Structure 1
Amino acid sequence: MTEAHKAHVQSQFGRAAEDYITSPGHAGGADLDRLLGWGRARGADRVLDVATGGGHTALGFAGFTPSVVATDVTEPMLHAARRFIDERGASGVRFVAADVEALPFRDASFGVVTCRIAAHHFPELLPAVRQVCRVLVPGGAFLIQDILGREDRELAAFILEVEKRRDPSHVRAFTQREWAAFLKAAGLTVIDEMVMEKVREWEQWTERMRMSEPARADLERFVLAAPPAYREAFDFKIEGRRILSFTDRMLLLRADKD
């Protein structure tokens, strides 16, 4: 991760840290339950949660794992996650400021590594996945959830513009085929995968990134002016000129180290 992009991510998420703690879409749901289920099935004494954000995944694993390490490149986010987890009485969680492209851990240190709703911020996905593979034990599992990229180029370009106008640190979402290729190149084999829908409540989604009113108004004009087929593809719910919600597709993957 370049220093410029790292600074951008830290700026964006440093000021939004508390909002991510309380974000319903991050705090739980069937998607998080699926990752936790895969983790229980695999079993591990040590779990690493990279780009922990609000710490919800780390908290979930702390319920049945002796040792959890939560990392994030944004220290205010890491402090907020620590406070959130400590307030819930969870033990066995350690917090480390770290860039996913340069994880400060020995080879073969963890039985499970998780990364939930964060990879779309990584400027280079393959170096990050290679770092994950390096710190996994042989046969260890990488559990991933992220926004699913669209194969259709026009739809992909439309939603990328929406995402970047809301959060300039957003890089891009990857397709299933791209994920499979990156994982294979790093030495990981996809064991299980599924796609789940996740509804984004527009007001919460835009407020969480502390968008200014002019920026939010510009984004809404962009969405409302888009071809109807684009809005339909993401199930935008609109009343009059007011955007209520849209729906993301989330890709969930379990990939084991060869």
Structure 2
Amino acid sequence: MEGYGRAKKFFNANAEKYSQSRSHAEDSDLDILIESLNLNSNMKGLDVGTGTGFTGLRLARKIDIVYAMDIAENMLKETSKLADKYGVQNIIPIRGSAESMPFDDSNFDIITSRRAPHHFLDKAKFIDESYRTLKSGGMIGIDDMTCDQNYINYLNRLENIRDNSHMAAESPEGWIKLLKDAGFYDIKYHIYERRISFAQWIYPVRENSIEGLDSYNYIINSGPFRDYIKWENNTFLKKWIIITGKKP
């Protein structure tokens, strides 16, 4: 997990706050992701970059067993706490990185990753590792922030100001290429968007921190990007892509 120092520091420090995030727990993109997968009770799943485990816990209610993998120890502790709280016994927290998964080939029926891939050091390696560890006929389901290709550099700059462990979000075209290049087929995607306040977006970073103030100023002065996200009364439209593919 070398190279993930900034991400581990940020998420270990903020794990408890993320476990209380209503957006991560309740936003409709999670419903769309779960519904887009062909789930049945005898499946084995992996949630990559699980954070505090909201996606893994939802999967665990639908399938036989779920491995919830993350690089940050404190995030996995919160996953265990939430599993105990909700009486979920078929989820296994495990440390590991997206680019080097500690699993055998053809091991899983389902692999998911929600609101995490923009932190991965190498998304192509993540996709290749997902392909390797999926069984034939298995599905990958990804859910992450996105925007149109023309504005992706603006989005990545803004997110990096907020949190310097942010690596890069992808446009829909970028994700389709990554999945196709790895060998996935039957690729389908849905764009989920909702208006959020600046305060909701910046959490758990404080609005009056250097990162918060710099982020606000960047939006105000971003011109075309400010118009694209429909900035109004300290709110804007945030977009996520939910994209799936199958392994032959």
Partner amino acid, structure 2, of 1:172: A
Shift of 1:178: 1.6
Shift of 1:210: 4.9
1:162-201 Cα offsets, whole Å, 9 max, x none, are 1111010111111222211111121211442111103333
Among 221, 227, 248, the alignment partner of 2:238 is: 248
Distance in 1 separating the partners of 2:173 and 2:222: 27
Among 137, 142, 165, the alignment partner of 1:144 is: 142
Distance in 1 separating the partners of 2:21 and 2:231: 20
1:127-184 Cα offsets, whole Å, 9 max, x none, are 11010111100010001111124211xx323222211110101111112222111111
How do 1:101-120 and structure 2 match up within 5 A? 101-120=99-118
Partner amino acid, structure 2, of 1:158: Y
| Count of residues in correspondence between the two structures | 247
Distance in 1 separating the partners of 2:211 and 2:94: 34
Q: Which residue number corresponds to residue 235 of structure 1?
A: 230
Q: Which residue number corresponds to residue 37 of structure 1?
A: 35
Bigger drift between 100-109 and 206-215 goes to 206-215
SS of 2:99's equivalent in the other structure is helix
Bigger drift between 22-31 and 125-134 goes to 22-31
Are 1:15 and 2:10 an aligned pair?
A: no
SS of 1:86's equivalent in the other structure is helix
Q: Which residue number corresponds to residue 168 of structure 1?
A: 164
Bigger drift between 95-104 and 191-200 goes to 191-200
Distance in 2 separating the partners of 1:247 and 1:19: 23
How do 1:1-258 and structure 2 match up within 5 A? 3-4=2-3, 6-39=4-37, 41-43=38-40, 44-152=42-150, 155-210=151-206, 213-227=209-223, 229-238=224-233, 243=234, 245-258=235-248
Partner amino acid, structure 2, of 1:217: L
SS of 1:114's equivalent in the other structure is strand
Moved over 6 A (4+): none
SS of 1:70's equivalent in the other structure is strand
Alignment check: 8 A CA contact 1:49 1:68 kept: yes
- RMSD value over aligned CA atoms? 1.7
SS of 1:237's equivalent in the other structure is coil
Shift of 1:212: 5.8
Distance in 2 separating the partners of 1:186 and 1:226: 35
Distance in 2 separating the partners of 1:129 and 1:237: 36
Distance in 2 separating the partners of 1:215 and 1:209: 7
Q: TM-score, normalised by structure 2?
A: 0.93
* Residue segments in structure 2 that go unaligned for 5+ positions in a row: none
Identity of aligned residues (%): 27
SS of 1:128's equivalent in the other structure is helix
Q: TM-score, normalised by structure 1?
A: 0.90
Alignment check: 8 A CA contact 1:16 1:210 kept: no
The 1:117–1:198 alpha-carbon spacing in structure 2 relative to 1, beyond 3 Å, is farther
Partner amino acid, structure 2, of 1:237: E
Alignment check: 8 A CA contact 1:196 1:250 kept: yes
The 1:211–1:66 alpha-carbon spacing in structure 2 relative to 1, beyond 3 Å, is same
Shift of 1:221: 2.0
